[in-house]
Amino acid sequence: MSDLLTGFLEGLLGTTKINALQQLGAFSSRAIVALLIAAAAVIVAAKVRDAVHRFFKRANGDYSLALLLGRAGYFLVLLVGVILIMQDFGLNPAALLATLGVVGLAAGLAMQDVLKNVFAGIYLLIERPIRPGERIVVRTFEGVVVTIDLRTTTLRADGELIYIPNAILFAEVLVNRGYAKPSPEETPE
């Protein structure tokens, strides 16, 4: 048992030559540090996400943009936590980042249309050429903007919902007729 405790302490403080029980102790010390890093990363990530949401709520900002930036901050903090955990176990985080880059490239090529709509959605959320409640015309569709999400924008017209991919709103001629008071059949439930 003393070898296990010695290995645990040497794992926390640094180690030289150790036997099998000491190696188990050293590994358990790294595992405990990794769990503490993971817990701290999840807590900090949640606080970052909540802070972004509170900021946008106080500033009367767009909810969709707050959701997007909150999630981005959340996952960025989690990524930093994973990198710290990898370093704790002696793994090279550059390999993880290179792998993520290759996987991201492959996914980007496979999902070009979806990503085109997502980037157009981000543009619409940041630039705000249209806002919920405004009446717009795009191609042959006319209606009141209900929501602007990452992939689609939802219009309500004649009691129907029309989902328009954001890439179309980004690339096509768009007529914004301004704020339209919704009729009783156009109000969302």
- CATH number listed for the domain at residues 2-110: 1.10.287.1260
Confidence of residue 183 (pLDDT cuts 50, 70, 90): low
pLDDT value of residue 15: 56
Please give the average per-residue pLDDT across 52-76, as a whole number. Answer: 86
pLDDT value of residue 93: 84
Chain mean pLDDT for the chain: 84
Work out the widest C-alpha separation in the chain, in whole angstroms. Answer: 78
pLDDT value of residue 25: 75
| pLDDT tens sequence across 107-152 | 888 888 888 988 898 888 888 889 889 999 999 999 999 998 888 9
> How much is the pTM?
0.56
Where are the chain's structural domains?
2-110, 121-186
Confidence of residue 3 (pLDDT cuts 50, 70, 90): low
| pLDDT tens sequence across 21-37 | 767 777 888 889 999 99
| pLDDT tens sequence across 89-111 | 888 888 878 888 899 899 888 88
Length of the chain: 189
With 80 as the cut, is the pLDDT of residue 5 above it? no
pLDDT value of residue 57: 87
- CATH number listed for the domain at residues 121-186: 2.30.30.60
| pLDDT tens sequence across 145-163 | 999 888 899 999 988 999 9
| pLDDT tens sequence across 73-87 | 999 999 999 999 988
With 80 as the cut, is the pLDDT of residue 19 above it? no
